[in-house]
Chains A and B, each alone.
Chain A
Amino acid sequence: MSDPIQIINDKCVSCGACVRACPFDAISQAERKAIPVIDLTKCTLCGACVQACKFDAILMQAKPAADAGAIAAYKDVWVFAEQHEGRVQSITYELLGEGRKLATELGCRLCAVLLGHDVKAAASGLIARGADVVYAVDRPELAFFQDEPYAAVLVELVRRHKPAIFLCGASTMGRSLVSRVAVPLRAGLTADCTGLAIDPESKNLLQTRPAFGGNIMATIVAPNARPQMATVRHKVMKEAPLDPAHQGEVRIEEVPVELLASRTRRVKFELEVETTLNLSEANIIVAGGRGMQKPENFAMLRELAEAIGAGVGASRAAVDANWIPYSHQVGQTGKTVCPKIYIACGISGQIQHLAGMSSADIIVAINKDPEAPIFKVATYGIVGDSMTILPKLTAAFRAALGK
């Protein structure tokens, strides 16, 4: 098989324009007058070098041109409505808020797709949040999330109604589910987007997401495949406002019964009770690290969290010391969170921790070490001992908030 991208030696004048144009550092010249070499392990075939070359000396294997007619058959913006026990999750409202903008730009409908059992109330709730159409599949087999039937039903609905865009929350459920949907559809799928926009010329969905632990942002497109699928990071997009006057239609969809089968079987489900608040749902997070010194001191964090309605997070160091369960860990090997306020107490701010929380709106850092890297990302920094500051902060918030 030939290389997907090649430099044609006869045409190349070794000017180096492609070397400079490559955003991925994949093209190099051994010396100034040498013919450049493309490192295919770094190359993403983005085409920047092809455009930069004035001598048509770079040949990139053309993708089979998209069938414009087939692409045009896909319309509408779809949002997967995540429900737990019939309650629609707030990420869904964020998707509807963002989906509305995209639908307006494309001049198409905004639709929600809802799988569950006894979902009538939830379906009308989605219309009040801006959905023009709710495709609902109401079956006991779909009462709670199971990877296989949920994926099979979504594949069927996409084939039936052909949405141009399919958005889903980047929740544990969403990420487990949508890859199984994208594979049989041969759809492009982008994970954990923090920015979505419509390209004004091509009308393609521009999907922007962090990579390399948030050190780098990448914009991704899927020009020749439909639907354009993306999961979206929780708490980044603004919720669609509640508008009880908004009109829409609930369509109950029937699906073949064989799609509802699951080889896996839920044995039991235990809601997490330790937390006051689910970390990914929390608008405010109070987090502790090694500087909290011992597990008992996490009580101080919990008190502050209760006073201000926050969830409790932790650094890897605190989790590894068994001061708090893993489900509270924020960072590269834990959760990625995006709250309005993140209060880091005794957390030094290793890059792996920052990867999980640096997109928070406001970051407060309390640390004894004035050189701690956490202060580099902090909106407000306090050099001091968390053990001294925390009780005072809790008391001051209680007074200020009238509790």
Chain B
Amino acid sequence: MHYVVCIKQVPETTDVRINPETKTLMREGVAAIVNPFDMYAIEEALRMKERQGGKITVLTMGPPQAESALREALSMGCDEAILVSDRAFAGSDTWATSYTLAQAIRKIGDATVILCGKQASDGDTAQVGPGIAMHLDLPQITYVRKIESMDERHIVAQRLMDDGIETVESPLPALLTVIKELNEPRLPSLKGKLNARKVQIVTWSATDLNPDPKCLGLDGSPTKVVRIFSPAPRGGGQMLQGEPDELVTQLVEKLKDVVLAARS
């Protein structure tokens, strides 16, 4: 069994703002973390390996400094790490990103289960996981909340949909995207941290992936960002004053009509 976990290094969204004067994105000094949903993907791969053996490869596409995200995954217990990095990837949207990661997974060759976080906290698209599955022509189970059973050829998992929980069986190999409910990620152990330092991270450039150049970076990206701006500030709020009974009366008065309209 070979588990491949796709992760992304993201800025702590808490700190990302637009500079009001220059109107540019301020990313300087913003801490970089492993995308929170990807932590559940790493943890689940570790549990799968503990149950039925095999190997875990953690994979990311990004600039050279994304290596620290891979080291974190290694320190949790992943076996190998691959950084896919090239200036030719600049300007990649979700189409080109999922193509590039799919090419890397092809090169890995023997992936049994591919795990991704549901979405990344910077872009919030949730498009790359299913995109990879499609590029590889693999079945997918999105929003996985529980693995019910698994052997070398099949997996049965529960996925959380808007209106309920669906249990799905899929042949392997397959791609899963995972949500927080699935598990609680472990902290790296001291031994894990020491091991992580020893692992040689493999770096693949564009040419290593044998790609169709038309599918990479700018050329491979049908969408482009033309403008960024700060969201309109919320209108000035109002603090209600008075004793609890007065507060409640004021609030009901303000909300009553909207509640009636919203219920109909």
Within the complex, what minimum Cβ distance (angstroms) separates A3 from chain B?
5
Residues of A within 8 A of B133 (CB): 180
Task: Check if B127 sits within 8 Å of A179, measured CB to CB.
Answer: yes
Which residues of B203-243 have CB atoms within 8 Å of chain A's CB atoms?
A: 206-207, 213, 217-219, 221-231, 234-235, 237-240
Bound-complex Cα distance A143 to B54 (A): 38
Asked whether A201 is an interface residue with its Cβ less than 8 Å from the other chain, the reply is no
How extensive is the interface on chain B, given as a class?
A: 35 or more
Bound-complex Cα distance A197 to B121 (A): 26
Asked whether B95 is an interface residue with its Cβ less than 8 Å from the other chain, the reply is yes
| B226 contact from A189, A220, A308, Cβ within 8 A | A220
Task: Check if A212 sits within 8 Å of B122, measured CB to CB.
Answer: yes
Within the complex, what minimum Cβ distance (angstroms) separates B175 from chain A?
10
| A341 contact from B124, B164, B262, Cβ within 8 A | B262
Asked whether B142 is an interface residue with its Cβ less than 8 Å from the other chain, the reply is yes
Asked whether A98 is an interface residue with its Cβ less than 8 Å from the other chain, the reply is no
Asked whether A221 is an interface residue with its Cβ less than 8 Å from the other chain, the reply is yes
Task: Check if B167 sits within 8 Å of A333, measured CB to CB.
Answer: no
Q: A4-B218, A400-B252 are in contact. Are A186 and B95 (CB under 8 A)?
A: yes
Residues of B within 8 A of A61 (CB): 218-219
Residues of B within 8 A of A383 (CB): 239
Bitwise, B157-169 to A at CB < 8 A (1) or not (0) is: 0001111111111
Bound-complex Cα distance A216 to B126 (A): 18
Bound-complex Cα distance A270 to B164 (A): 6
Q: A379-B234, A396-B248 are in contact. Are A147 and B164 (CB under 8 A)?
A: no
| B135 contact from A23, A183, A221, A329, Cβ within 8 A | A183
Task: Check if A379 sits within 8 Å of B228, measured CB to CB.
Answer: no
Task: Check if B86 sits within 8 Å of A1, measured CB to CB.
Answer: yes
Asked whether B192 is an interface residue with its Cβ less than 8 Å from the other chain, the reply is no
Task: Check if B25 sits within 8 Å of A24, measured CB to CB.
Answer: yes
Q: A212-B11, A358-B234, A377-B234 are in contact. Are A25 and B26 (CB under 8 A)?
A: yes
Bound-complex Cα distance A401 to B259 (A): 9
Residues of B within 8 A of A339 (CB): 262
State the interface size on chain A (CB cutoff 8 A). Answer: 113
Asked whether A340 is an interface residue with its Cβ less than 8 Å from the other chain, the reply is yes
Task: Check if B16 sits within 8 Å of A216, measured CB to CB.
Answer: yes
Task: Check if B256 sits within 8 Å of A400, measured CB to CB.
Answer: yes
| A377 contact from B134, B156, B227, B237, Cβ within 8 A | B237
Asked whether A252 is an interface residue with its Cβ less than 8 Å from the other chain, the reply is no
Asked whether B68 is an interface residue with its Cβ less than 8 Å from the other chain, the reply is no
Within the complex, what minimum Cβ distance (angstroms) separates B148 from chain A?
8
Bound-complex Cα distance A206 to B229 (A): 14
Task: Check if A221 sits within 8 Å of B219, measured CB to CB.
Answer: no
Within the complex, what minimum Cβ distance (angstroms) separates A340 from chain B?
5
Q: A191-B127, A340-B258 are in contact. Are A176 and B143 (CB under 8 A)?
A: yes
Asked whether A284 is an interface residue with its Cβ less than 8 Å from the other chain, the reply is yes
Bitwise, A1-16 to B at CB < 8 A (1) or not (0) is: 1011100000000000
Asked whether B130 is an interface residue with its Cβ less than 8 Å from the other chain, the reply is yes
Asked whether B87 is an interface residue with its Cβ less than 8 Å from the other chain, the reply is yes
Bound-complex Cα distance A266 to B169 (A): 6
Task: Check if B258 sits within 8 Å of A362, measured CB to CB.
Answer: yes
Residues of B within 8 A of A358 (CB): 234
Bound-complex Cα distance A240 to B80 (A): 52
| B168 contact from A213, A266, A283, A341, Cβ within 8 A | A266
Bound-complex Cα distance A44 to B92 (A): 8
Within the complex, what minimum Cβ distance (angstroms) separates A399 from chain B?
8
Task: Check if A173 sits within 8 Å of B162, measured CB to CB.
Answer: yes
Residues of B within 8 A of A396 (CB): 248-249, 251-252
Asked whether A225 is an interface residue with its Cβ less than 8 Å from the other chain, the reply is yes
Bitwise, A373-386 to B at CB < 8 A (1) or not (0) is: 00111111111100
Bitwise, B171-206 to A at CB < 8 A (1) or not (0) is: 100100001110000000000000000000000001
Task: Check if A382 sits within 8 Å of B247, measured CB to CB.
Answer: yes
Residues of A within 8 A of B163 (CB): 84, 271-272, 278
Residues of A within 8 A of B121 (CB): 213, 332
Which residues of A216-274 have CB atoms within 8 Å of chain B's CB atoms?
A: 216-225, 262-272
- Top 9 nearest A-B pairs (CB, nearest first) are A188-B222, A225-B222, A283-B262, A191-B125, A179-B130, A41-B63, A213-B13, A45-B91, A188-B223
Please give 10 more A-B residue pairs, beta carbons under 8 A apart, in addition to A213-B16, A270-B165, A333-B179.
A24-B24, A42-B25, A46-B225, A183-B131, A213-B14, A263-B170, A264-B170, A341-B262, A355-B13, A392-B245
